[in-house]
Amino acid sequence: MSDASLAAPPVKASPFHDLEVLWVRHWNDQLFSFGVKRPEDFRFRSGEFVMIGLPGEDGGKPILRAYSIASPFWAEELEFFSIKVEDGPLTSRLQKIQPGDSVLMGKKPTGTLVLDALTGGERLWLIGTGTGLAPWLSVARDPETYSRFKQVIVCHTVRNVADLAYRDFFTHGIHNDPLIGDEAKAQLTYYPTVTRERFETPGRITDRIKSGDVFADLQLPIGFSPNSDRVMLCGSMAMIKETGELLESYGLKEGSNAEPGDYVLERAFVG
């Protein structure tokens, strides 16, 4: 028998990166963020998502979920923003990670919440609910965003004021970003709304669009214009569906990577 016939079969490459957790921040008992070491060969477009997970317990299959990358394409680490679900197959365990632990990440980022899927315009609306804010943390730190659009509006709707994670970042911190800080200070507007507590801009973003309040608050013409407005949507299925219908009623057309349009949503999260 030859040595070749005794050789072990080649090891199949893993479809996942095994990444070290660098930091964890718990915003409240419902939300947390974490950062992981970025693989040297990992490339993505701002706004894309990737599969994140943990090995299965007792040798079972890994448990994975789609997570938007909250870092811009140029960042040296990868950031993620997650809810906590007490009995969730993944987040019940993921919320307990500590620096030094490992998480699994897929090797193929994808998604439609990218600038490539939009045609040119003057104003970019980034509308999200809950952890649907995550891709906007990426897009809002991409220099191309500010070269393509004169105004960028980040709309974030949550239930309680304490759920406004990254509020300080969008009102102050982003202005100190070494790459896009000056542009963000001049061109970015942060517009949070809260549905279950008293707040200066109360209610769902969809209701404030219908009433015209969001446009009045921002001193903009009422409604969306196909000539000037471009929109990205991420968050609850109800918000995405309702806002998509509102945009269509104003004449905006949905876009994709294959055929750029006036607005985009992430169908991987819609179902």
Q: Is the dihedral angle over the CA atoms 108, 76, 67, 54 positive or is it negative?
A: positive
Which conformational region is residue 187 in: left (phi greater than 0), alpha (psi within -120 to 50 degrees), or beta? Answer: alpha
Is residue 199 packed enough to be buried (19+ CB in 10 Å), middle (13-18) or exposed (0-12)?
Answer: middle
What pLDDT tens digit does each residue of the chain (271 aa) get? 555 555 555 656 788 999 999 999 999 999 999 999 999 999 999 999 999 999 988 778 999 999 999 999 999 999 999 999 988 999 999 999 999 999 999 999 999 999 999 999 999 999 999 999 999 999 999 999 999 999 999 999 999 999 999 999 999 999 999 999 999 999 999 999 999 999 999 999 999 999 999 999 999 999 999 999 999 999 999 999 999 999 999 999 999 999 999 999 987 654 3
CATH of 16-106 given 3.90.870.10, 3.40.50.300, 3.40.50.720, 2.40.30.10: 2.40.30.10
Strand partners, 194: 158, 202
Q: What are the sequence ranges of the domains in the chain? A: 16-106, 115-267
CATH of domain 115-267: 3.40.50.80
Nearest to 231 by CA among 199, 198, 194, 206: 206
Nearest to 158 by CA among 23, 28, 24, 25: 28
pLDDT at 57: 80
Common-topology check for domains 16-106 and 115-267: no
Structure tokens at 120: 């040119």
Helices (H), 123-180: 134-139, 143-148, 167-171
